[in-house]
């Protein structure tokens, strides 16, 4: 090796080493757990009979395996908006694929999930369940997060409630604010 190459090698190695050190110094703390509270709503729309809107509160926990994959569980307690005689309690579990799920900044995701709920009133004490297609957006700060998610639900059990099974759609929505661990 010629003597003239030594300064080039030393400078190249020092630049490489300084970039590695500075990249490691800027690392974010990985926070895979999210726990939050917020609002939850379900709308069951029937073409002929109108829609039933339920709203209430939710608790949510999410574990992010990576920046692209996570699993979320939510428990919710709702009331029928035009009557406090119907109470709904239930949970949903979803697996998401997206971007920014564990890092700070904007995040977006889609996924599939399962839901199970109980409608309780004077006339109805029935269980509902099925699958849902979900998506959402949010933002992760250093210690807190905000998520807005929307789900389109299968309507098999809801169709049994209306006795005719035609023209029914069911949608869920949640807005959750929480803490990252």
Task: Summarize pLDDT for 125-135 with one digit per residue, the tens.
Answer: 889 899 999 99
CB of 136 within 8 A of CB of 130? no
Task: Summarize pLDDT for 74-129 with one digit per residue, the tens.
Answer: 999 999 998 778 899 999 999 999 999 999 999 999 999 999 999 898 877 889 89
CB of 90 within 8 A of CB of 118? yes
Where is 15: in which H helix or E strand? helix 5-25
CATH topology assigned to domain 33-180: Porin (2.40.160)
Domain ranges across the chain: 33-180
Q: pTM score, two decimals?
A: 0.81
The distance in angstroms from the start CA to the end CA of the chain is: 52
DSSP letter for 67, please.
S
pLDDT of 67 = 96
């Amino acid at each position: 090796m010629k003597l003239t190459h030594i300064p080039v090698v030393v400078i190249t190695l020092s630049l490489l080493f300084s970039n590695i050190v500075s990249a490691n110094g800027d690392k974010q703390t990985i926070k895979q757990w999210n726990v939050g509270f917020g609002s939850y709503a379900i709308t069951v729309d029937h073409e002929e009979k109108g829609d039933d809107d339920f709203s209430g509160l939710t608790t949510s926990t999410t574990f992010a395996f990576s920046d692209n994959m996570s699993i979320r569980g939510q428990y919710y307690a709702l009331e029928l908006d035009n009557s406090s005689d119907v109470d709904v309690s239930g949970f949903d579990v979803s697996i998401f694929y997206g971007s920014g799920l564990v890092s700070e900044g904007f995040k977006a995701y889609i996924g599939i999930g399962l839901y199970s709920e109980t409608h309780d009133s004077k006339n109805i004490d029935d269980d509902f369940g099925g699958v849902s297609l979900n998506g959402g957006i949010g933002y992760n700060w250093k210690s807190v997060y905000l998520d807005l998610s929307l789900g389109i639900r299968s309507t098999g059990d809801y169709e049994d409630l209306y006795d005719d099974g035609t023209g029914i759609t069911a949608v869920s929505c949640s807005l959750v604010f929480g803490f990252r661990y």
